[in-house]
């Protein structure tokens, strides 16, 4: 998938980035990560700057115009959202030596990546999407990155099934109800780690599809995407797919880290986050048009987009060229990559001169369709309303 | 006066202090956990919202800071970061 030239280029860029990161660590005043060509921070300097929007050094969105119709998002275009600064790139120097502490099993212990690779391997195509993707479409100005559609991608992961890891360690201990994963980022002195650390819990039922992944789109997982080892939970929002996973525990209770207790909780506008509110776990059905986006000549046009069912398989996607008055079922393109992947879609249309509001509306296997309007929530999570995702096209 | 007390909230009164995680030259802060406020240049309203809501892995200070303290730190950050 990746030409060897690009792989080599990435290696050299990565090596240069590691040196720059070392320089940064020493100087307290140098809080801004160095930026390379195209305005990209060093740790993602290998990405395609033309296809990306840099909101901050750790929140980088893919442009809507960059989505293609082949189904897989290249890692050079894949969005980045890190809640904490990524660890030093030196952790990639000995990928196989990366250790994760496995707890809440009958025989808990630390296990190295090289041993995980021998326990089993599976691959999965899955949509990776930030909880706040679409936040910019809400009117209530929720704080956080103003993502539109590009905090999402459809990628291939390879790794060991979590159930194989648990089996190798005697099975899950009695009474455990959650999978709890902690990232390997450094937490500064002077702060209770639970305040800012990335530790997320999901229901243990996700065990049937969870992977500890070391490959992304046929390459070792880059630092920006959680390499050397990332917990992958197909169908779950991005934040649960913990990067640089250092502790993987089966637990009776959810993590008491703030990011789990009060962060990523869905609540009405104006309310504080609390453990009683729904957590940003499984994704819902969603789609958006990717082409055309602004102007096109009159006559025949292929309206393109992507659609996915979230945690459930996709059943169909419809397209409207008149703002939702009339809908036509679109054709799903390419192979079905499984229930957690997205499908590009196409609808052949004839557009007359004038303006057209082009919308898409996906439906999952259980019959759930995207709503026209998404009810606002305090943090601007999970927007899948079709009207806000529609594009206005001018036909000459 | 507001700016002075806003700086105090930023570096001391807030727990954890804003300066542990954020860079802001006017406060002599070089935290690298959260985004640099010198680069982000947030408006007072954006600071107020972030401090109250707690976006991402940032804690909410709605229960630990008074409205006056939140107002002061919002003004201080917006004015000193030039947002």
Q: What is the 3-state secondary structure (H, E, C) of A276-345?
A: CCCECCECCCEEEEEECCCEECCEEEEEEEEEECCCCCEEEEEEECCCCCCCEECEECCCCCCCCCCEEE
**Whether A144 contacts chain B with CB within 8 A:** yes
- Model confidence band, residue B75 (pLDDT cutoffs 50, 70, 90): very high
Please state the ipTM of this predicted complex. 0.87
Average pLDDT over residues A318-330: 98
Average pLDDT over residues A254-268: 97
**Separation of alpha carbons B52 and B31, rounded Å:** 20
Flag whether pLDDT at A299 surpasses 90. Answer: no
Domain that holds residue B19: 2-81
pLDDT digits (tens, 9 = 90+) for A2-36: 333 333 333 333 333 333 333 232 233 333 455 55
pLDDT digits (tens, 9 = 90+) for A47-67: 999 999 999 999 999 999 999
Asked if B23 and A32 come within 8 Å (Cβ–Cβ), the reply is yes
| Nearest CA distance, A187 vs chain B (angstrom) | 8
Q: What is the DSSP letter of A243?
A: S
Average pLDDT over residues A217-236: 98
Q: Can you give the pLDDT at residue A287?
A: 98
A144: nearest CA in chain B?
B55
Q: Which residues contact A383 (CB under 8 A, 6 or more apart)?
A: A133, A134, A135, A137, A138, A374, A389
Residue from B24, B30, B45, B57 whose CB has the most chain A CBs within 10 Å, to mutate: B57
- The total number of structural domains in chain B stands at 1
Helix (H) or strand (E) holding B21: helix B18-21
Task: Return the closest-CA partner of residue A100 out of A159, A157, A43, A158.
Answer: A159
Is A44:A80 a contact under the CB 8 Å cutoff? yes
Is A188:A56 a contact under the CB 8 Å cutoff? no
CATH value at residue B42:
1.10.760.10
**Whether B28 contacts chain A with CB within 8 A:** no
**Separation of alpha carbons A70 and A153, rounded Å:** 12
Delineate the domains of chain A, giving CATH numbers in brackets: 49-261 (3.90.420.10), 286-395 (2.60.40.650)
Flag whether pLDDT at A390 surpasses 70. Answer: yes
Please state the separation of Cα A128 from the chain's center in Å. 3
**Separation of alpha carbons A281 and A203, rounded Å:** 9
- A chain contacts of residue B39, beta-carbon cutoff 8 Å: 32, 56-57
Give Cα separations from A218 to A125, A215, B6 (angstroms).
12, 6, 50
B52: nearest CA in chain A?
A272
Q: Can you give the pLDDT at residue B6?
A: 95
């Amino acid at each position: 998938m990746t030409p060897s030239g690009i792989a080599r280029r990435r290696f050299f860029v990565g090596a240069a980035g590691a040196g720059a990161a070392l320089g940064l660590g020493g100087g307290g005043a140098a809080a801004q990560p160095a930026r390379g060509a195209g305005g990209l921070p060093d740790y993602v300097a290998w990405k395609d700057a033309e296809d990306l929007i840099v909101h901050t050094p750790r929140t980088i969105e893919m442009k809507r115009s960059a989505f293609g119709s082949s189904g897989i998002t290249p890692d050079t275009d894949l969005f980045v959202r890190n809640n904490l600064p990524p660890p030093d790139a030196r952790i990639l120097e000995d990928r196989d030596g990366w250790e994760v502490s496995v707890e809440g099993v009958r025989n808990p212990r630390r296990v190295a990546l090289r041993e995980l690779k021998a326990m089993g391997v599976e691959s999965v195509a899955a949509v990776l999407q930030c909880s706040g993707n679409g936040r910019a479409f809400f009117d209530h100005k929720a704080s956080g990155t103003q993502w539109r559609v590009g905090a999402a991608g459809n990628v291939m992961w390879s790794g060991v099934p979590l159930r194989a890891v648990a089996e190798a360690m005697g099975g899950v201990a009695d009474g455990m109800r959650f999978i709890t994963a902690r990232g390997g980022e450094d937490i500064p002195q002077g702060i209770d780690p639970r305040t800012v650390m990335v530790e997320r819990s999901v229901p243990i039922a996700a065990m049937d599809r969870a992977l500890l992944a070391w490959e992304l789109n046929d390459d070792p997982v880059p630092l920006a995407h959680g390499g050397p080892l990332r917990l992958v939970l197909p169908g779950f929002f991005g934040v649960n797919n913990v990067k640089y996973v250092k502790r993987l525990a089966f637990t009776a209770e959810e993590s008491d880290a703030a990011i789990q207790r009060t962060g990523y909780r869905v609540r009405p506008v104006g309310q504080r986050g609390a453990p009683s509110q729904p957590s940003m776990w499984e994704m819902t059905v969603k789609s958006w048009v990717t082409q055309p986006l602004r102007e096109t000549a009159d006559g025949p046009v292929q309206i393109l987009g992507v659609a996915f069912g979230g945690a459930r398989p996709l059943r169909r996607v419809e397209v409207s060229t008149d703002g939702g008055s009339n809908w036509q079922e679109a054709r799903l393109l390419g192979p079905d990559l499984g229930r957690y992947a997205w499908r590009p879609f196409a609808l052949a249309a004839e557009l007359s001169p004038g303006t057209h509001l082009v919308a898409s509306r996906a439906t999952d296997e259980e019959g759930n369709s995207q709503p026209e309007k998404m009810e606002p929530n305090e943090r601007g999570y999970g927007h899948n309303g079709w009207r806000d995702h529609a594009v206005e096209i001018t036909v000459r | 006066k507001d700016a002075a007390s806003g700086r105090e909230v930023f570096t001391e009164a807030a727990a954890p202090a804003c300066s542990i995680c954020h860079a802001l030259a006017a406060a002599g802060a070089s935290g690298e956990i959260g985004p640099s406020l010198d680069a982000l240049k947030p408006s007072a309203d954006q600071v107020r919202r972030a401090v109250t809501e707690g976006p991402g892995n940032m804690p909410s200070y709605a229960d630990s800071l008074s409205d006056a303290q939140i107002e002061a730190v919002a003004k201080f950050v917006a004015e000193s970061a030039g947002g």
